[in-house]
């Protein structure tokens, strides 16, 4: 099943986790530490209160530098954060979809290998021939998060977070290597 189809079938919690996972993997571009999004992940658990998501989001936005570095990848990451809905509602579908696109685009911008596709949209639809390694890994992570949550519901949050943590470490290494090369 393509990423587009998985997003179309996901429930509200799956969509919120999908968007959050994309944002979480891009935290190195936002200047945040590995724990910055923990309150948002916790707000997706089964026992979380209805206002936990909005409160956690407000805290995260205050902690992260909203100005960004001006780098295109960082700007895209900041847009993901700023576009996050204050409530987990039907509007979360639009946000999760936009985060998916933005995250794939960020990985494409940061990948040193060329990607043969004209846009990340074809990757989300399942056409993966000639895909760059960093984009391929991000696509796999996005699909895994949605599949785990669809198959396990709230119990899949831990695995979704693990997948996201792995991706964040990879992106942090890419960003670090890139900054060393630019100096």
The H-assigned helical ranges of 84-156 are: 92-110, 121-124, 133-152
Share of the chain above pLDDT 90, in %: 66
Measure the CA–CA gap between 168 and 110, rounded to whole angstroms: 13
Give me the mean pLDDT over the 11-26 stretch.
95
In this prediction, residue 104 carries a pLDDT of 95
pLDDT at 52 over 80: yes
pLDDT digits (tens, 9 = 90+) for 96-111: 999 999 999 999 999 8
CA quadruple 57, 72, 22, 18: dihedral sign: positive
In this prediction, residue 66 carries a pLDDT of 55
pLDDT at 67 over 50: no
Lowest mean pLDDT among 2-11, 66-75, 134-143: 66-75
Of 7 and 130, the structure prediction assigns the larger pLDDT to 7
In this prediction, residue 85 carries a pLDDT of 94
pLDDT digits (tens, 9 = 90+) for 157-167: 999 999 999 99
Neighbours of 114 (CB within 10 A): 9
For residues 68 and 80, is the Cβ–Cβ distance under 8 A?
no
In this prediction, residue 115 carries a pLDDT of 72
pLDDT digits (tens, 9 = 90+) for 110-154: 988 877 767 787 778 877 778 888 999 999 999 999 999 999 988
């Amino acid at each position: 099943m393509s990423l587009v189809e998985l997003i179309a079938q996901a429930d509200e919690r799956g969509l919120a986790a999908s968007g959050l996972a994309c944002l979480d993997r891009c935290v190195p571009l936002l200047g945040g530490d590995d724990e910055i999004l923990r309150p948002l992940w916790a707000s997706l658990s089964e026992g979380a209160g209805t206002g936990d998501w909005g409160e956690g989001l407000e805290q995260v936005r205050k902690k992260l530098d909203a100005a960004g570095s001006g780098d295109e990848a960082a700007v895209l990451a900041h847009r993901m954060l700023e576009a996050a809905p204050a409530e987990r509602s039907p509007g979360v579908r639009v946000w999760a979809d936009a985060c998916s696109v933005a995250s794939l685009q960020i990985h494409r911008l940061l990948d040193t290998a060329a990607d043969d596709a004209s846009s990340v949209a074809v990757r989300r639809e399942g056409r993966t021939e000639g895909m760059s390694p960093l984009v391929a890994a991000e696509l796999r992570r996005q699909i895994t998060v949605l599949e785990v949550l669809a198959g396990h519901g709230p119990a899949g949050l831990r695995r979704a977070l693990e997948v996201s943590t792995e991706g964040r470490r990879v992106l942090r290494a890419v960003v670090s290597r890139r900054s060393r090369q630019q100096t």
